[in-house]
A and B are shown apart, each in its own frame.
Chain A
């Protein structure tokens, strides 16, 4: 089969879904897409567009990518003809991130080596992530994968059948009814623990560059531990939702993908404005309600600190708890003097370090207990 030849429309459509997948949209419903086109006019570019958008896109973030691939694939030719392009799918560019192989093979051997490794690990725990050599960083990444990333819980509103707890009148009566009105055992119900949502906002601006990689790996751990209740966003000159990219199991792939999704990697920060975009677009709608929000940033604010303070106040009103992780906090001589931090401080439930493995472990603990 030669995908992308206009002679066979189905091959063209399937080829388009492959191109879409290559560009990062999940697009795994080629059959539905073909069926949808069948209900419309395959010769009309617009019809093909809407059939694909309805069946292949899953969320608004997919739509700009979809539009781009669509424009590339279905080149308008002679008016409104959905002629299929013959070039193959263009590849996504993977942002270069230094990901080294973890130094395997060292653990085997006699007891001395094991002890030596254990003590390096202990040292590594408290080392500043920014100052690690590549091989140390690789080892740190392996250690990160071992952190306990279980999220916080809350009591559910709904009551579930249980052996203890309050009496469940409905079920007791139902049970007795089943026995023809004869008394039966009392049924009980109780509330269960449900996972509480966690929202991670990770600053990826230039000043945070040495930490962004580790913080995103940490975020990946949290997403893998609780995929349905964790959301991850990056903050820079703009806001990017990277949660979908975090769903792979391999952290290296995740980092590569996140790197290609975030357009403002290592750019500037406009924390206040980006936070406002976040609260407007996501917070108010419910993502933040009842959630534990973590802002991982050094608080370097180029815009006005006043706006940042205002947005942190809004965030605080919406969230269950707001925790700030600051990579510079754990360093000697640190004082919270940056404008951003001062503006944010009154609205925080907690402030933790964010520079070392030990600090990350503490952060996870604070989030869990929030």
Chain B
């Protein structure tokens, strides 16, 4: 089975592809892989929930299969569907040849592999070992959650026309949720749970350094210092995530800065703030934050 031999090993493998997990996340991810359980990640936007799945795929050299959930998503969008248009064309083509073909053969040919449109979950089961990312599960409906639970409990699905598809080895499953609604207890029970916090200054600096090594160390440190100060509750409507920090650093770097100053900070504030109210608030704070 694919899996790291230890928590330390997993951490360093993730580190190699630029994902710096702290002790907790590394331990829980290791457990999820060892116990072959889905990992349910919750936390503020921008704390690296989706990025973990991407990093896992990259570090173990596995395909990343992503299922983005939305309201109304159903099994045919997650599992498989038949390509009706091509099936009908096929039927017409058979008619056109005018040859007498046995009905059962025609029928069978209609539900052939080539008319099957495999959607993310079926692909993940077939292509496993793979990383299956079920993104924003909280957006899907209850019914879909129940369906997903079934798949995640058995790692197999049955297609009436083709038979049962079973994953030779369960894929590594990462579910993310933004907590817009409560998930079913049954689904939670199936998963290992982890709540992701924003990284502390040291780890965030390390993340930026790993992702953007070309940027000056001073600039990185100063920007991280500022985003860390803007993050506590009540300061901004939308506290910046790591993605915003990275955007801001990148924007300043593009302007040729090696340090942050009032003028450049003010010009690039859009990389950090996504609300007018936040922009105003940060503008007012900038002289103090940037200092000088």
A interface, CB within 8 angstroms of B: 28-29, 32, 35-36, 39-40, 46-47, 50-51, 53-55, 57-60, 63, 156-158, 170, 173-174, 177, 180-181, 197, 228-229, 243, 273, 276-277, 279-281, 284-287, 289, 314
Contacts and interface: CB of A to CB of B under 8 A. Distances in A.
B88 to A, nearest CB: 7
A156 B141 CA distance: 10
Contacts of A287: 179-181
Contact of A228 (B110, B181, B233, B234): B181
A286 B180 contact: yes
Given A51-B31, A158-B141, A289 B180 contact: yes
Interface in B131-160: 138-139, 141-142
Contacts of A158: 71-72, 74, 141
Most chain B beta carbons < 10 A, residue from A177, A229, A279:
A177
Interface in B37-73: 42, 45, 71-72
A39 B72 contact: no
B87 A177 contact: yes
Contact of B84 (A47, A60, A174, A286): A174
Classify the secondary structure of A's interface with B: helix
9 contacts: A36-B31, A47-B27, A177-B110, A180-B106, A276-B234, A285-B178, A285-B179, A286-B181, A314-B237
Contacts of B7: 40
A143 B84 CA distance: 57
Interface stretch (B163-171, B187-195, B201-209, B284-292): B187-195
A277 to B, nearest CB: 6
A194 B106 CA distance: 42
A36 B35 contact: yes
A58 B28 contact: no
B23 A286 contact: no
Given A28-B189, A39-B31, A287-B181, 20 more contacts: A32-B192, A35-B35, A39-B34, A40-B27, A46-B27, A50-B27, A59-B42, A60-B195, A157-B72, A158-B72, A158-B74, A174-B82, A177-B87, A180-B106, A197-B181, A273-B234, A280-B239, A285-B178, A285-B180, A286-B181
A46 B23 contact: yes
A40 B192 CA distance: 15
B198 interface: no
Please provide the 9 A-B residue pairs with the shortest distance between their CB atoms, ordered closest to farther.
A286-B180, A158-B72, A50-B27, A54-B192, A39-B34, A54-B28, A157-B72, A60-B195, A36-B31
Most chain B beta carbons < 10 A, residue from A47, A59, A173, A276:
A59
Nearest to B194: A54
A50 B195 contact: no
B265 to A, nearest CB: 23
A228 B192 contact: no
A50 B25 CA distance: 9
A50 B32 CA distance: 12
A191 to B, nearest CB: 10
B283 interface: no
B138 A286 contact: yes
B91 interface: yes
Contacts of A29: 189
Contact of A58 (B87, B110, B193): B193
Contacts of B182: 59, 228, 243
B94 to A, nearest CB: 10
Contacts of B138: 286
Contact of A281 (B72, B193, B233): B233
A289 B23 CA distance: 35
Nearest to A169: B84
A277 B139 CA distance: 22
A50 B28 contact: yes
Contacts of B189: 28-29, 32
A157 B238 contact: no
Contact of B237 (A51, A156, A280): A280
B24 interface: yes
B30 interface: yes
A289 B189 CA distance: 27
A250 B239 CA distance: 39
B9 to A, nearest CB: 13
Contact of A284 (B181, B195, B238): B238
B58 to A, nearest CB: 23
A173 B181 CA distance: 36
A29 B191 CA distance: 11
B234 A280 contact: yes
A159 to B, nearest CB: 8
Nearest to A60: B195
Contacts of B234: 273, 276-277, 280
Contacts of B72: 156-158
Contacts of B142: 228
Given A58-B188, A280-B234, A157 B31 contact: no
A170 B84 contact: yes
A177 B84 contact: yes
Contact of B192 (A55, A60, A180): A55
A181 B31 contact: no
B180 A39 contact: no
Contacts of B87: 177
Contacts of B30: 39-40
